[in-house]
């Protein structure tokens, strides 16, 4: 009886998949013998315990964030209008559609009425907190699959919880689309991790592909940025496929799943044109076309392969741009142009006066990742471990990629030679490139850090519990023995868990015992006044953020709202925002009446904004877009000119005849001023 060890045979991972991923007893004729009964029993016991721990941690996380939300707002004790106001900005818009649906008579007649058991708002928020359980379980399972031990999953979940400030914001932005989407993205990554394992049976592979498709579809359905996230994922697959580190057949299936998932979402979203013009569809189609054009891409020596790869990359890039341009030209698509303007300005390819792009550029969430993020992540040891694992696996990936491209991978016939063979499993290779690309995204755009930090927990815990990682390090230090590797693999993660528990458990307990209460009397007063003193058919204009709350709390019609992926809505918002610009009262009145406005709400927090610096205040963005010089001390671009009119939101409060002819103040408090528009043309 001999022992078969995992070994890279020939070029690429496809060859490596011909060998078992774990040590297996085999007969001389190659038939695999069953392991000892005790080993099978231990495996079943380990999976059972690991599964129970995963579900328990997921549920505990769900309860944890729900408790934080309750303690922060005293949600169970405040009025319904206060609960709805607590869903700030676009959160209120998203929740308003749920509220509208449950209040519709036809829906109520068609489903079981659960109001007698649970208030609709609690059903909504508990569903989202429940998805956090799915999220944590998916991260746990991914780490477990990568490392082979559920101890890794336990560490990943603990890191996710203790780094909550940087891994999630669900407890204070509950209805955000990313909070619906990211759990499904985590499930998709877990399914891809399993798919990339060697020796899957055909039935297992089909079921896993189905799981990847369902998760991809749900992720795409629930978040407007899905196409950009999956484009990064497709780039990771493309890089690894080019370097012969992933099975080409599986990569092809993943490309097809991404395309079909997006197309299905497009149909369900009433043929959303923005999806058809996405770079993801153009890129994936281009890769599939380029493969059919270029034959023998993975054959030849190092220079030959590099030449083919460079040509392949250029071909894919050109095809992507041509296909995308063609689709947008044919369908006349302009829904995502503001994103590309934003990216162009953000990365220094010329300044822009575009109002929409500058609106993103001036928001902190779309700026660079703050450096204090790393100090917080380091306090839990997460960032230190992550950097350690990232360095080791990057070195291994470079070695494996060079060997694949040079065609120098050989079967090591001697044990001594085999000791120095560097390998990288396909699932680990994917996780490496995934974390690098999403890390770059997070560094450039703070709002996207949640995609990176959650996977950082998975990647770091996998590396700390991985036999391959410790084996590689100990071999480099000439200290490798199988027993030493096993001791380190379990002892260091346990010590890390103990450190995290002792350091952060008291803080978590203090956090759970801290009680606050929601308090926003000015907004409550405004919403109550609107419901009591305006007709149900009244049309309101104002800021996107406030109007989302108006729609939710009062059900009144809006002129604009925070859905910013539609060109017409973006243009309409810019026009409505002239209430904060330097425009004549007659011009503003004409703009508002053109959208059917009955009432306009002005906010002092915008009119006299101090949160942003000069140049990034909303009134500054409007002045520059209108060609006017900005208020206050500082430089202006030479072609900007003084406006002929004062700022509308300030001047209207003086009740001058030129303003009272068109606008009558009907409500005011310390924060808001509501004006009714005259009915004359």
Q: Give the model's pLDDT for residue 448.
A: 93
| Of 674, 495, 35, 84, nearest in space to 663 by CA | 674
Q: Give the model's pLDDT for residue 267.
A: 93
Q: Give the model's pLDDT for residue 41.
A: 87
Do the bridges between strand 557-558 and strand 599-603 make them parallel or antiparallel, or are there none, so unpaired?
A: unpaired
Residue 641 phi/psi, 5-degree rounding, is: -125, 155
Q: Give the model's pLDDT for residue 354.
A: 81
Q: Per-residue confidence at 295, pLDDT binned at 50, 70, 90?
A: confident
Q: Is 122 a residue whose pLDDT tops 60?
A: yes
Q: Per-residue confidence at 37, pLDDT binned at 50, 70, 90?
A: low
Is residue 541 within 8 Å of 576, Cβ to Cβ? yes
Helix axes 544-554 and 90-102, enclosed angle (nearest 10): 20
Q: Give the model's pLDDT for residue 410.
A: 44
CA separation, residue 255 to residues 242, 251, 272, 426 (Å): 14, 6, 20, 16
- Range with the lowest mean pLDDT among 202-216, 310-324, 566-580? 566-580
| Of 645, 667, 507, nearest in space to 579 by CA | 645
- Range with the lowest mean pLDDT among 64-78, 169-183, 213-227, 330-344? 330-344
DSSP, res 243: T
Q: Please give the residue that has the higher pLDDT: either 563 or 16.
A: 563
Q: Is 283 a residue whose pLDDT tops 80?
A: yes
Q: Give the model's pLDDT for residue 525.
A: 96
Q: Mind spelling out the 3-state secondary structure of 330-392?
A: HHCCCCCHHHHHHHHHHCCCCCCCCHHHHHHHCCHHHCCCCCHHHHHHHHCCHHHHHHHHHHH
Q: Give the model's pLDDT for residue 587.
A: 95
Q: Please give the residue that has the higher pLDDT: either 272 or 622.
A: 622
Q: Is 182 a residue whose pLDDT tops 60?
A: yes
Q: Give the model's pLDDT for residue 20.
A: 32
Token pair of 90, please? 């676009």
Question: Can you tell me the distance from the alpha carbon of 219 to that of 212, in angstroms, rounded to the nearest whole number?
Answer: 10
Residue 581 phi/psi, 5-degree rounding, is: -100, 180
Residue 520 phi/psi, 5-degree rounding, is: -150, 70
Q: Give the model's pLDDT for residue 253.
A: 97
Q: Is 289 a residue whose pLDDT tops 70?
A: yes
Is residue 182 within 8 Å of 451, Cβ to Cβ? yes
Q: Give the model's pLDDT for residue 638.
A: 87
pLDDT more than 90, % of the chain: 67
Question: Can you tell me the distance from the alpha carbon of 458 to that of 142, in angstroms, rounded to the nearest whole number?
Answer: 7
Do the bridges between strand 599-603 and strand 672-677 make them parallel or antiparallel, or are there none, so unpaired?
A: antiparallel
Q: Per-residue confidence at 108, pLDDT binned at 50, 70, 90?
A: low
Q: Is 527 a residue whose pLDDT tops 90?
A: yes
Is residue 598 within 8 Å of 677, Cβ to Cβ? yes
- Range with the lowest mean pLDDT among 124-138, 326-340, 494-508, 521-535? 326-340
Is residue 492 within 8 Å of 464, Cβ to Cβ? yes
pLDDT tens digits along 219-237: 999 998 899 999 999 999 9
Q: Please give the residue that has the higher pLDDT: either 416 or 488.
A: 488
Question: Can you tell me the distance from the alpha carbon of 461 to that of 389, in angstroms, rounded to the nearest whole number?
Answer: 9
Q: Give the model's pLDDT for residue 109.
A: 52
pLDDT tens digits along 187-208: 999 999 999 998 899 999 999 9
**539 sits in which H/E element:** strand 539-541
Tell the residue number behind the tokens 């500058």, with chain if given.
358
What average pLDDT does the segment 656-670 reach? 95
Q: Give the model's pLDDT for residue 425.
A: 94
What average pLDDT does the segment 297-309 reach? 88
Q: Is 670 a residue whose pLDDT tops 50?
A: yes
Q: Give the model's pLDDT for residue 3.
A: 36
- Range with the lowest mean pLDDT among 291-295, 441-445, 533-537, 566-570? 566-570
pLDDT tens digits along 591-639: 999 999 999 999 999 999 888 888 899 999 999 999 999 988 888 888 8
Q: Please give the residue that has the higher pLDDT: either 22 or 527.
A: 527
- Range with the lowest mean pLDDT among 238-252, 296-310, 319-333, 593-607? 296-310
Q: Average pLDDT of the chain?
A: 88
Q: Give the model's pLDDT for residue 680.
A: 64
Q: Give the model's pLDDT for residue 113.
A: 59
Q: Per-residue confidence at 257, pLDDT binned at 50, 70, 90?
A: very high
Q: Per-residue confidence at 112, pLDDT binned at 50, 70, 90?
A: confident
Q: Give the model's pLDDT for residue 569.
A: 86
Burial 513-532 (b: 16+ CB within 10 A, else e): eeeeebebeebbbbbebbee
Burial, 78: exposed, middle or buried (Cβ in 10 Å; 0-12, 13-18, 19+)? middle
Q: Per-residue confidence at 110, pLDDT binned at 50, 70, 90?
A: very low
Q: Is 1 a residue whose pLDDT tops 50?
A: no
What average pLDDT does the segment 339-349 reach? 79
- Range with the lowest mean pLDDT among 335-344, 393-402, 648-657? 335-344
pLDDT tens digits along 449-480: 999 999 999 999 999 999 999 998 998 888 98
pLDDT more than 70, % of the chain: 90
- Range with the lowest mean pLDDT among 5-14, 162-171, 182-191? 5-14
């Amino acid at each position: 009886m001999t022992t078969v060890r995992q070994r890279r045979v020939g070029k690429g991972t496809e060859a490596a998949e011909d060998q078992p991923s774990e040590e297996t007893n085999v007969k001389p004729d190659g038939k695999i013998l069953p392991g000892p009964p005790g080993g099978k029993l231990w495996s079943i016991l380990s999976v059972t315990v690991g599964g129970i721990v995963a579900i328990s941690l997921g549920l505990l996380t769900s309860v944890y964030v729900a408790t934080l939300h309750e303690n922060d707002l005293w949600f169970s004790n405040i009025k319904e209008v206060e609960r709805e106001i607590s869903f700030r900005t676009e959160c209120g818009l998203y929740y308003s559609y749920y509220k509208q649906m449950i209040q519709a008579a036809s829906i109520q007649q068609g489903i079981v009425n659960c109001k007698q058991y649970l208030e609709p708002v609690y059903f909504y928020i508990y569903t989202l907190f429940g998805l956090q359980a799915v999220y944590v379980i998916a991260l746990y399972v991914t780490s477990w699959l990568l490392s082979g031990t559920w101890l890794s999953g336990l560490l990943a979940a603990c890191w996710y919880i203790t780094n909550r400030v940087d891994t999630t914001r669900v407890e204070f932005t509950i209805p955000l689309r990313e909070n619906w989407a990211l759990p499904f993205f985590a499930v998709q990554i877990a399914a891809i991790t399993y798919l990339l394992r060697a020796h899957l049976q055909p039935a297992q592979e089909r079921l896993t592909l189905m799981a990847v498709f369902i998760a991809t579809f749900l992720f795409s359905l629930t978040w407007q940025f899905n196409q950009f996230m999956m484009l990064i994922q497709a780039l990771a697959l493309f890089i690894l496929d080019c370097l012969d580190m992933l099975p080409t057949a599986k990569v092809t299936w993943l490309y097809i799943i991404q395309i079909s998932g997006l197309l299905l979402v497009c149909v369900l979203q009433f043929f959303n044109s923005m999806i058809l013009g996405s770079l993801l569809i153009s890129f994936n189609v281009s890769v599939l076309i380029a493969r059919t054009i270029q034959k023998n891409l993975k054959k030849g020596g190092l220079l030959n392969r590099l030449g083919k790869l460079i040509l392949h990359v250029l071909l894919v890039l050109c095809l992507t741009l041509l296909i995308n341009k063609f689709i947008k030209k044919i369908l006349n698509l302009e829904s995502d142009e503001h994103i590309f303007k934003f990216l162009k300005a953000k990365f220094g390819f010329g300044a822009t006066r575009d109002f929409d792009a500058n609106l993103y550029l001036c928001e902190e969430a779309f700026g660079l990742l703050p450096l204090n993020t790393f100090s917080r992540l380091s306090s839990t040891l997460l960032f230190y471990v992550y950097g350690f694992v990232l360095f080791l696996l990057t070195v291994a990936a470079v070695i494996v990629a060079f060997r694949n491209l040079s065609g120098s991978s050989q079967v090591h016939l001697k044990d001594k030679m085999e000791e120095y063979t560097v390998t990288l499993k396909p699932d680990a290779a994917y996780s490496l490139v995934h974390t690098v690309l999403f890390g770059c995204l997070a560094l450039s755009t703070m709002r996207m850090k949640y995609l990176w930090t959650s996977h950082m927990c998975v990647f770091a815990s996998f590396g700390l519990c991985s036999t391959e990682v410790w084996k590689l390090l100990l071999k480099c230090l000439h200290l490798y023995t199988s027993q030493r590797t096993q001791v380190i693999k379990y002892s260091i993660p346990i010590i890390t868990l103990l450190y995290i528990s002792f350091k952060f458990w008291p803080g978590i307990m203090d956090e759970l015992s801290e009680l606050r209460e929601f308090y926003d009397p000015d907004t409550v007063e405004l919403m109550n006044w609107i419901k009591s003193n305006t007709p149900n058919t009244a049309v309101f204009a104002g800021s996107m953020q406030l109007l989302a709350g108006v729609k939710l709390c009062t059900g009144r019609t809006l002129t604009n709202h925070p859905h910013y992926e539609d060109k017409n809505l973006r243009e309409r918002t810019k026009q409505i925002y002239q209430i904060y610009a330097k425009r004549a009262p007659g011009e503003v009145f004409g703009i508002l009446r053109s959208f059917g406005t009955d009432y306009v709400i002005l906010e002092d927090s915008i009119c006299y904004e101090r949160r942003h610096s000069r140049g990034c205040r909303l009134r500054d963005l409007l002045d520059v877009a209108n060609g006017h010089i900005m208020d206050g001390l500082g430089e202006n671009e030479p072609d900007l000119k003084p406006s002929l009119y004062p700022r509308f939101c300030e001047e209207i409060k003086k009740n001058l005849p030129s303003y009272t002819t068109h606008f009558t103040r009907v409500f005011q408090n310390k924060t808001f001023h509501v004006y009714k528009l005259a009915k004359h043309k």
